[in-house]
């Protein structure tokens, strides 16, 4: 994330863990990605304290009915990607990590669905 002074800030793994504990109903990684995109698209609104900005963003997302901000929900709907919290056990089992046509066909025949490498659920 680009800060107000033009330097780059990255949250630590510990930051993500703390946010996941503090906001269990929020897809922290999806929200962080959208917040980062928002900051990139709005350079005049960049922050000097990015950690506080992300925390506030997650706090607002946690207060939404679905635990997702309107920005992240719109991005998710446009991409068709499921968040990690929306994935089922079957989604994980049929996730095509190797981008294999044979694997996808087998999953369609056996389970009626597969997950693309990008995280989009495909059904018959």
Mean pLDDT by 10 residues, the chain (124 residues): 93 91 86 91 94 93 71 69 69 82 90 84 82
Tokens 């009915």: give the residue.
Answer: 65
> Which among 87, 94, 97 is positioned nearest to 114, based on CA atoms?
94
Predicted pLDDT at 80: 66
State the pTM of this model: 0.57
Rg for the chain (alpha carbons), in Å? 17
């Amino acid at each position: 994330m680009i800060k107000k002074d033009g330097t780059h800030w990255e949250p630590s793994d510990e930051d993500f863990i703390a946010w996941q504990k503090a906001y269990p109903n929020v897809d922290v990684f999806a929200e962080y990605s959208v917040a980062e995109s928002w900051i990139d698209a709005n350079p005049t609104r960049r922050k000097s304290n990015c950690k506080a900005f992300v925390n506030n963003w997650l706090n607002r997302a946690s207060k939404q009915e679905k635990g997702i901000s309107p920005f992240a929900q719109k991005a998710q709907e446009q991409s068709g990607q499921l968040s990690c919290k929306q994935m089922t056990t079957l989604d994980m089992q049929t996730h095509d990590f190797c981008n294999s046509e044979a694997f996808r066909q087998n999953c369609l025949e056996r389970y009626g669905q597969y997950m693309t490498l990008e995280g989009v659920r495909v059904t018959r």
